[in-house]
């Protein structure tokens, strides 16, 4: 009998505050539940934000005061899950750490909110986030089961490039896979964040745990990313979910763009976030091609839309445009700093949904048969019969590579 589940990815982008982003996550998860999605992945750093284009005023040998102010904004936008800087592992997962005498819990309530969303929707939620612990930030992802709550948390072991300025290195022990049973289907989930997927030994550590659902929240918006996801799926004989944000310049926070509009820095309150009114703007879905119209809003929130000058009218006649923008002009705020590229790949390395380019708030999902993972291992098992364990061995500090029970 086939082991069928519907799995999906949300190509969502971070909103202007953590409260608004959490509310958006809840709405998206509710929509996913309506579509029958059982497991849903959100992008890297979805909660807290990926600070694209920001240098934090750093150069070799110097840091500026303005850059430190930017880091303050970024630090305040991160979430506090109540973990320790060194990572408390099972003690954090099982809530064995001391709690605050004031609030009766650890952290800022984000963990409890995510567990509530998973429980009320019945959707297994995995989301990327920026976690603060002590005075450091970590790029992380959490697994949230509808029945048991948080099952585990990944911290990125190697931030890439300039990410190393703002994110600390995570613990290799967090590479531990988690298992759950959904609608009678046993799923073993492992997560590699962004360019961790380029690390062969890290990949092998997850293959060794018999992962059949590979989660790859990312910030890589290049068209080369899909080929890596297809390699991982085929190499691991597993389904792959990869989620990236689709971001325009106008989505970047004011502390990055330097706009005059003052941004209020908000933090999670002691209570769970309540429904918030967003600015009322509606994202305009676009395909992979260039937009044929552009929209802006006045200070009174009136929407103004005009066509680009290079658009031809009926029978090739010219269209009179106001204002005149030139043949290829696109307002800077409408330019993409990340085009998305979220996708779903099957165990034979075939992309079965996506990649989704220049589609804001897109939801990709597919019905899949997890028996396909075993079918693929007839001729290849990266950590089993094809691995020559008598000749090659891998050890990871603090991590048991045996499959979870």
CB-based contacts of 221, cutoff 8 Å, min separation 6: 244, 336, 338, 339, 340, 341
Q: Tell me how far apart the 2 most distant CA atoms of the chain are, in Å.
A: 74
- What is the spatial distance between Cα 364 and Cα 288, in angstroms, rounded to a whole number? 16
| pLDDT value, residue 269 | 46
Query: Which position among 44, 115, 196, 358 bears the catalytic label?
Result: 44
Q: Let me know if residue 58 belongs to a domain.
A: no
Residue 252 is classified by DSSP as S
Query: What tokens does 386 get?
Result: 């094809």
Query: Which position among 194, 238, 246, 373 bears the catalytic label?
Result: 194
Question: What domain range includes position 44?
Answer: 4-52+79-259+334-376
- What is the spatial distance between Cα 218 and Cα 242, in angstroms, rounded to a whole number? 7
- What is the spatial distance between Cα 20 and Cα 26, in angstroms, rounded to a whole number? 10
Q: Let me know if residue 277 belongs to a domain.
A: no
| pLDDT value, residue 272 | 53
Domain count across the chain: 1
Which stretches within 139-278 are classed as H helix? 163-166, 200-207, 225-236, 254-257
- What is the spatial distance between Cα 121 and Cα 124, in angstroms, rounded to a whole number? 9
| Annotation says 393 is catalytic | no
| Annotation says 94 is catalytic | no
> What does 169-197 look like in DSSP terms, one character per residue?
---GGGG--EEEEETTEEEEEEE--GGGG
| pLDDT value, residue 259 | 67
Are 114 and 131 spatial neighbours (Cβ–Cβ below 8 Å)? no
| pLDDT value, residue 286 | 37
CATH number at residue 33: 3.60.110.10
- What is the spatial distance between Cα 171 and Cα 85, in angstroms, rounded to a whole number? 10
Which stretches within 308-348 are classed as H helix? none
| pLDDT value, residue 252 | 94
Would strands 239-243 and 213-217 be described as parallel, antiparallel, or unpaired?
parallel
Q: Let me know if residue 397 belongs to a domain.
A: no
Q: Let me know if residue 20 belongs to a domain.
A: yes
Q: How many CA atoms lie within 13 A of 125 on its CB side?
A: 34
Q: Let me know if residue 190 belongs to a domain.
A: yes
| pLDDT value, residue 331 | 77
Q: Let me know if residue 326 belongs to a domain.
A: no
Q: Let me know if residue 315 belongs to a domain.
A: no
| Annotation says 156 is catalytic | yes
Query: What tokens does 69 get?
Result: 């102010």
Question: How distant is the alpha carbon of residue 182 from its chain centre?
Answer: 22
Are 250 and 336 spatial neighbours (Cβ–Cβ below 8 Å)? no
| pLDDT value, residue 103 | 84
Query: Which position among 153, 156, 176, 248 bears the catalytic label?
Result: 156
Three-state DSSP class for residue 364: strand
Q: Let me know if residue 87 belongs to a domain.
A: yes
Mean pLDDT by 10 residues, the chain (405 residues): 92 95 98 98 98 95 96 97 95 94 90 97 98 97 97 97 96 96 97 97 97 98 96 98 96 84 44 42 37 39 38 37 52 87 98 96 97 96 93 94 91
């Amino acid at each position: 009998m086939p082991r069928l589940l519907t799995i999906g990815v949300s190509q969502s982008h971070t909103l202007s505050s953590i409260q608004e982003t959490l509310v958006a996550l809840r709405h998206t998860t509710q929509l996913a539940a309506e579509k029958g999605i059982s497991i849903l992945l959100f992008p890297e750093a979805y909660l807290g934000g990926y600070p694209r284009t920001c240098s934090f005023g750093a150069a070799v040998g110097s840091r500026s005061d303005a850059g430190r102010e930017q880091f303050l904004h970024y630090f305040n936008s991160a979430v506090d899950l109540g973990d320790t800087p060194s990572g408390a592992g099972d003690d954090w997962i099982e809530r064995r750490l001391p709690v605050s005498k004031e609030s009766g819990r650890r952290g800022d309530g984000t963990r409890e909110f995510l567990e509530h969303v998973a429980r009320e929707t019945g959707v297994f939620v995995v989301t990327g986030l920026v976690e603060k612990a002590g005075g450091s930030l970590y790029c992380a992802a959490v697994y949230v089961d509808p029945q048991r709550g948080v099952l585990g948390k990944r911290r990125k072991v190697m931030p890439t490039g300039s990410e190393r300025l703002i994110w600390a290195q995570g613990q290799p022990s967090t590479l531990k896979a988690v298992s759950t049973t959904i609608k009678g289907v046993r799923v073993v989930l492992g997560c590699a964040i962004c360019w961790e997927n380029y690390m062969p030994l890290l990949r092998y550590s997850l293959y060794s745990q018999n992962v059949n659902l590979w989660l790859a929240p990312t910030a890589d918006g290049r068209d080369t990313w899909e080929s890596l996801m297809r390699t991982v799926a085929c190499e691991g004989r597993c389904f792959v979910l990869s989620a990236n944000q689709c971001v325009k310049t106008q989505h970047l926070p004011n502390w990055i763009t330097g706009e005059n509009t003052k941004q209020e820095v908000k933090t999670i309150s002691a209570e769970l976030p309540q429904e918030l009114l967003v600015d009322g703007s509606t994202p305009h879905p676009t395909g992979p091609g260039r937009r044929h119209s552009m929209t802006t809003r006045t200070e009174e929130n009136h929407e103004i839309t005009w066509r680009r000058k290079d658009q031809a009218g009926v029978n090739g006649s010219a269209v009179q445009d106001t204002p005149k923008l030139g043949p290829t002009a696109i307002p800077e705020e409408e330019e993409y700093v990340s085009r998305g590229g979220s996708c779903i790949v099957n165990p034979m390395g075939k992309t079965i949904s996506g990649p989704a380019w220049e589609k804001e708030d897109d939801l990709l999902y597919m019905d899949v048969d997890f028996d396909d993972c075993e079918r693929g291992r007839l001729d290849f098992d990266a950590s089993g019969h094809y691995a020559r364990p008598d000749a090659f061995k891998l050890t990871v500090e603090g991590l048991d590579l045996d499959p979870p029970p």
